[in-house]
Amino acid sequence: MLSDPLTTYLPEADPDLLAETMVSFANGDGGAIVIGLDEDGGGNHDPIYEEELEGALRAAEQRCRPVIPVGWEQFVVDAGAIFVVRVERSPELHALDDGRVLVRAGAENRPLTGEQVRMLAATKSAGDFESEAVVGATRADFDEEVVAEYLKKRETRKRRPISGTVDEILIEIGALTVEGLPTVAGLLLFGVAPQVLLPQSGLVFVKFVGTDLRGSDGHAGYGRREEINGPLARIIEQTWQVVHEEMSVGAVVEGLEREETLEYPSFAVREALVNAVCHRDYRLQGRRIEVRMFSDRMEIISPGGLPGFITVDNIVEEHFSRNPRLVSGVFQWGYIEELGLGVDGMIESMVQEGHPPPDFKARPHVFTVTLRNIRDRKVVPKWESNMNERQMRALSYIREKGSIANREYRQLCPDVSPETLRLDLVDLVGKGVLLKIGANKGTYYILK
């Protein structure tokens, strides 16, 4: 029924909550609001009728500045009749009538600060480059095998046949203009040779022999260099294959079984690669995505700074796409499982396998993710003299189990109020001892 990467559930047709969610989705990548179900799939005991939904939507639209156009569909599921309201990403900056500018953060509608609003407005005013027609490109520049593969993957995601002609679907997803001309997003997703017209869209892989760009003799120190071109799905596939070939393989012995381990966790490498391909600024010419492998680290370098209101400090909790059509396309291909959770998983996979967390470095026109292959499974944060006994107990639990959630912390300290325990964890995050992963009920903490 749903193929939207971002979906939220409202048991009731609440106009205020509808307005907040519509503004959040319009300011971000868009999404779907399912009315009549909760997150666990439970239905509303009181049925919702079309007139009630339309009245709630009218009231919600009156709270949005400017108005946000939406469409809705009705479905019948086991829990009863539900409505799905779809909100598209908007090129405009939207606010509520009380002045709040909201974005989606996990399962919450979060207001932005003044500086974050300015950053988001600057991104909006830059226009949707990915939806522009590519000068010189024609429909014949699309690879029909790649288009067919995408449509098959999309049907699998939607769990029902796709209606409409191929070109109608390509226009719907923004791969073609209404005049039938390839857009930037379309050429990047489906082009036979996108780099002919968009040379900045390729990727360069380099494997260096040591820890520096040059060898000990001062000359070029790389052992392998590959230029990887084609549509984005092929770039992701081929780059992963090259990286996988170059990663050293170790082994750990559990009981009587020997298990091979890669130099870097597969999930972390794939996520960093997919993020670079999806979120780079394709307006910037003269530089391609770079993947650099050194003896002690891997760097994935993406042209363009962080988009919208995203910073290194909020990159775990917040989400905003510079190229939502590309993100949606890669999502349909299956390279993105759940929107907005990739950075969490990247951090978790690195830490669980004994590596330091990824290092994120943002400059105005480039963003770099560094994965380090230093393995030390006994690294523990230094005990602070002002930590209380409860916090020490929490850290001991994390050392044993790998992470701790609020619920588990309350079980460790049943006689302490939940608010006090929450502040304990907030304090450890502020001291740089713990790293917060996820949001709301899914929040947990790991050693930083």
Q: Which of 147, 172, 197 is the last residue of a domain?
A: 197
Residues 442 and 356 in one domain: no
Q: Which of 92, 123, 154 is the last residue of a domain?
A: 123
Does residue 1 register a pLDDT over 50? no
Say what the pLDDT of residue 273 is.
96
Count of residues making up the chain: 448
Which single residue is written with the structure tokens 């560094």?
370
Does residue 334 register a pLDDT over 90? no
d(CA 448, CA 436): 9
Judge whether 301 lies within some domain.
yes
Q: Which is it for the CA torsion 24, 31, 300, 437, positive or negative?
A: positive
Q: What is the mean pLDDT of residues 374-395?
A: 61
Residue 79 structural domain:
7-123
Residues 238 and 346 in one domain: yes
d(CA 348, CA 357): 8
Burial per residue of 193-225, b for 16 or more beta-carbon CB atoms within 10 angstroms, e otherwise = ebbebbebbebbbbbbeeeeeeeeeeeebbeee
- Mean confidence (pLDDT) of the chain: 85
Judge whether 378 lies within some domain.
no
Judge whether 100 lies within some domain.
yes
Q: What is the CATH number of the domain that holds 78?
A: 3.30.950.30
Residues 261-292: tens digit of each pLDDT:
788 999 999 999 999 999 999 998 889 999 99
Residues 273 and 308 in one domain: yes
Choice between 399 and 133, residue whose per-residue pLDDT is larger: 133
Residues 166 and 289 in one domain: no
Does residue 378 register a pLDDT over 60? no
Residues 204 and 342 in one domain: yes
Q: Which of 177, 197, 217 is the last residue of a domain?
A: 197
Judge whether 189 lies within some domain.
yes
Say what the pLDDT of residue 386 is.
60
Say what the pLDDT of residue 150 is.
95
Judge whether 29 lies within some domain.
yes
Predicted TM-score (pTM) above 0.85: no
Q: How big is the chain by its Cα radius of gyration, in Å?
A: 24
How many separate domains does the chain show? 4
